[in-house]
Chain A
């Protein structure tokens, strides 16, 4: 059972364009939604995260939009640069309870052409 569905699988954007990656979740107990960035040969690294008490969070060129009623959240990369080319993973977890874990989407390979 895939609890976090991510799309698209791959995305090609021109330099300066906007990259948009979407995720949908099923478990209404999820209350923490991070995005990770992974470059080839490296481990994933936290990029930005959001909690459901806000609908949007922005850090530089990266913005998370969150829609609690639709159980969806998305990552927007403004003014995309070739250096942003990487695989992006959304994830979700619960902050309470005793058996919490990060559930990841399957990833989006972003290519930003110069």
Chain B
């Protein structure tokens, strides 16, 4: 158990809908990262927050947004969902702001299925 929690574990929704994925980092970790994992694209970095502030953006669609709250939990909002958004979404956390070298601890993921 990495200490990172994600809810829900599974999510099934329809195209055009909006969903929110939630992540609680390990105790003491200030950074939260979001990743999308699909069979064809592998693990894709979406966005990184450190202590409430956005630090880096990856291949995140404009339909997706995220935030990190004062209690350090984070939410990833996915809107106008398309079939291609079906994937595993992972949250990871680390102690510091340097995503390049800080060990990232991954949560168990949220499996999103868009029908």
Interface centre among B42, B44, B45 (most CB of A within 10 A): B42
Residue of A32, A43, A106 near B106 (CB, 8 A) is A43
**B109 is an interface residue with CB less than 8 A from chain A:** yes
Q: Are A93 and B99 in contact (CB under 8 A)?
A: yes
Q: Are A44 and B90 in contact (CB under 8 A)?
A: yes
Q: Are B90 and A102 in contact (CB under 8 A)?
A: no
Q: Are A43 and B108 in contact (CB under 8 A)?
A: yes
A89 vs B43: C-alpha distance in the bound complex, in angstroms? 9
Main secondary structure of the interface of A (DSSP, over half): loop
Query: What total of chain B residues lie within 8 Å of the partner, measured CB to CB?
Result: 26
Given A101-B56, A103-B45, A104-B43 in contact, is the A46-B103 Cβ separation under 8 Å?
yes
Q: What 0/1 readout, one digit per residue, does chain A (70-114) give for beta carbons within 8 Å of chain B?
A: 000000000000000000010001111011111111110000000
Residue of A45, A95, A99, A106 near B2 (CB, 8 A) is A45
Of chain B, the residue at the smallest CB distance from A91 is B43
Q: Are A44 and B100 in contact (CB under 8 A)?
A: no
A55 vs B1: C-alpha distance in the bound complex, in angstroms? 31
B77 to chain A, nearest CB (A): 20
Residue of A42, A95, A101, A104 near B42 (CB, 8 A) is A104
Given A89-B43, A106-B42 in contact, is the A45-B101 Cβ separation under 8 Å?
no
Of chain B, the residue at the smallest CB distance from A89 is B43
Q: Are A46 and B104 in contact (CB under 8 A)?
A: yes
A10 to chain B, nearest CB (A): 13
Q: What 0/1 readout, one digit per residue, does chain A (43-80) give for beta carbons within 8 Å of chain B?
A: 11110010000000000000000000000000000000
Given A43-B92, A96-B100, A100-B100 in contact, is the A105-B2 Cβ separation under 8 Å?
no
Q: List 14 A-B contacts (CB under 8 A).
A: A32-B101, A34-B103, A43-B4, A43-B106, A43-B107, A46-B103, A46-B105, A89-B43, A95-B101, A98-B55, A101-B45, A101-B58, A101-B100, A102-B100
- Residues of chain B at the chain A interface (Cβ within 8 Å): 2, 4, 33, 41-45, 48, 55-58, 90, 92, 98-101, 103-109
Task: List 15 additional A-B contacts (Cβ < 8 Å) besides A31-B100, A100-B100, A102-B104.
Answer: A32-B101, A34-B103, A43-B2, A43-B90, A43-B108, A44-B43, A46-B105, A89-B42, A89-B43, A93-B101, A95-B100, A99-B56, A100-B98, A106-B41, A106-B42
